[in-house]
Amino acid sequence: MQKDSFSKFKALVKKSNNIVIVTHFNPDGDAMGSSLALYNYLVKTDKKVTVITPNDYPEFLHWLAGNKKVVEYSKQPKKAATLVANSDLIFTLDFNNYSRLEGLGQLLQSSTAKKVIIDHHQQPDNYADLYYHDVKACSTCELVYEFIVGLGGKKLIDKHIAACLYTGIMTDTGSFRFDSVTPKTHLILADLLSTGLKPSDIHTSIYDTYSESRVKLLGYCLTEKMVVIPELQTAYISLSEKELKRFNHQKGDTEGIVNYPFSIKGITFCAFFSEGDGKIKISFRSKGKFDVNQFARKHFNGGGHINAAGGRSNVNDLQKTINEFLNLLPTYKKDILKK
Ligand code: 5GP
Ligand code: MN
């Protein structure tokens, strides 16, 4: 845990006039929820703020307050470059290494603005001036809630900001079920709900928005594509670009599929492989002690958390990537089976 004092954060925010908030490539619920919560709060304190994402993100996140003002670097690289160049403070949320930003990383690297990391991923890089970092936090949204309160902004947390924060906590904890959820998490949720937020509205906006083809893709994954290896308590699912096209794949459609094999009794390690844009993206999830952050870091150019991580294959071939994964499994058998 590395948390600088709020007197330092207060002083830095006070003297900053052009603030940029950046989150990771392929932003998820926690990335957008935390970025837009902080954005809406800072706007309320009369700061000039912009959220910049490296690329686009799923439509089921577009209802979050402030979404229309988000600048996507992949669509508006010049605008993003100007904003970064003119900023005096940059918050980097829900990641801690410029490699998670693709091209936008170079812009940040050459910027002289002060940098603040608010994040809960393992092994943060050292590019920031100030840190609000805790791997024990269930989500970056939990940390942003604490951060706003720490700056003295609790009264400014309205229904819209609360909805952003609730979204990130919900999506990063598998709807409040992971071990990262603590009494503190629920106290924060209680506070967020007291703004008048309806949990069913948020759940519906995030999870009950599937297209018919997305539900069918999920069915296809489970009936045709899931491979279970009981002796290794492992299961994996893979999808080629062709298969994704067949189901009219839209951004975000494969999110969460990696977790489904956990419903099978005894499964403690799941992987999901998908092919797209000439790359193989992999998601890893574990239950218990097996550290998928280390596994993704060591073998698949990735990282994340102990029980949830992602990465990318060294080879741009789906079957070769799966074979590489399968060849690694025996070495990790003891770790996977460890309770
Ligand atoms: P997902 O599998 O949902 O894409 O990601 C799971 C977790 O691992 C998230 O917390 C995400 O931020 C992190 N993650 C995903 N891909 C990468 C990657 O390529 N590098 C690193 N360092 N973390 C990743
Ligand atoms: Mn997160």
DSSP summary character for residue 70: P
Q: Which of 61, 121, 307 has most ligand 1 atoms within 8 Å of CB, for mutation?
A: 121
Pocket of ligand 1 (CB under 6 A): 24, 100, 121, 283, 302-305, 308-312
Contact (CB, 8 A) for 29 and 168: yes
Q: What is the pLDDT of residue 338?
A: 87
Identify the architecture of domain 2-207 in CATH.
Answer: Alpha-Beta Complex (3.90)
What value does the mean pLDDT take over residues 264-276?
Answer: 97
Q: In what order do the strands lie in the sheet with 114-119?
A: 2-3, 130-133, 114-119, 89-93, 18-23, 48-53, 71-72
Does the structure show a pLDDT above 90 at 280? yes
For residue 140, the ligand closest to its alpha carbon is 2
pLDDT digits (tens, 9 = 90+) for 178-221: 999 999 999 999 999 999 999 999 999 999 999 999 999 999 99
Nearest CA to ligand 1 atom 4: 310
Does the structure show a pLDDT above 90 at 308? yes
Residues of the chain with CATH 3.10.310.30: 214-337
The top-level CATH class assigned to 214-337 is alpha beta
66, two tokens: 């402030």
Does the structure show a pLDDT above 90 at 9? yes
Q: How far apart are CA 99 and CA 196, in angstroms?
A: 39
pLDDT digits (tens, 9 = 90+) for 214-249: 999 999 999 999 999 999 999 999 999 999 999 999
Residues of the chain with CATH 3.90.1640.10: 2-207
Contact (CB, 8 A) for 176 and 185: yes
pLDDT band at 339, cuts 50/70/90? confident
Contact (CB, 8 A) for 112 and 136: no
